[in-house]
Amino acid sequence: MEQLPPAFDARTLRDAFGSFATGVTVITGRDVDGARIGLTANSFTSVSLDPPLLLFCPANTASALPALRATRRFVVNVLGADARHVSDRFASKGIDRFAEADWDEWDGLPVLRDAKAAFSCALHADHDGGDHRIIIGRIMRLEFAPTREALLYLHGRYRLVHDGD
């Protein structure tokens, strides 16, 4: 069967994907030499309760991706409403991404102290996803702050939840 080119361009597709509100995460870990690494990701979702699995989808060009795949361990930090600056830092290049935030360590991995939730993971599966990878992590440890407001991303902007209460 002949495959026709899509009737839309990449910008239109990106904008359409952006109409789905998501949380914002930073994925952290260490490279094989022990240096802290990380990236911002809003493509995060739960996969399974038994076994406990989650996934995120970093771009193939993400500088932290080779190290995350090599070490097979990482933390997904779900950002609270007051952590826009953390997201921005982890989406930037050429800066210390870990500056201007407080970090703890779980088994040698950096964990954002004020995260809405944090999941320490072992790499469970790694799949091709076009210009991204589909990284599935098996959750080994978690902590969460149920009363902390989440940071959202919608239509290319950070947002906050306002439920009318």
- Residue 69 falls inside a structural domain: yes
- Residue 8 falls inside a structural domain: no
- Residue 15 falls inside a structural domain: no
- Residue 6 falls inside a structural domain: no
Residue 90 near residue 39 (C-beta atoms within 8 A): yes
Model pLDDT, residue 79: 98
Residue 86 is given by DSSP the state H
- Residue 132 falls inside a structural domain: yes
Domain count, the chain: 1
The domain that holds 148 is classified in CATH as: 2.30.110.10
Model pLDDT, residue 13: 87
Model pLDDT, residue 163: 67
Q: Which residues have CB under 8 Å from 107's CB, separation 6+?
A: 73, 120, 141
- Residue 5 falls inside a structural domain: no
- Residue 114 falls inside a structural domain: yes
Q: Please give the Cα distance from 124 to 136 (Å, whole number).
A: 5
Model pLDDT, residue 140: 99
| Nearest partner of 86 among 150, 24, 148, judged by Cα | 24
Q: Which residues of the chain have pLDDT under 50?
A: none
- Residue 72 falls inside a structural domain: yes
Q: Which whole-number Å values give the CA distances from 107 to 68, 94, 140, in the listed order?
A: 15, 27, 11
Predicted TM-score of the model (pTM): 0.93
Model pLDDT, residue 159: 93
Model pLDDT, residue 129: 96
Model pLDDT, residue 1: 66
Backbone angles phi, psi at 101, to 5 degrees: -155, 160
Which residues constitute the domain of residue 74? 24-160
Tokens representing 146 are: 């149920």
Q: Report CA 155 to chain centroid distance, whole Å.
A: 18
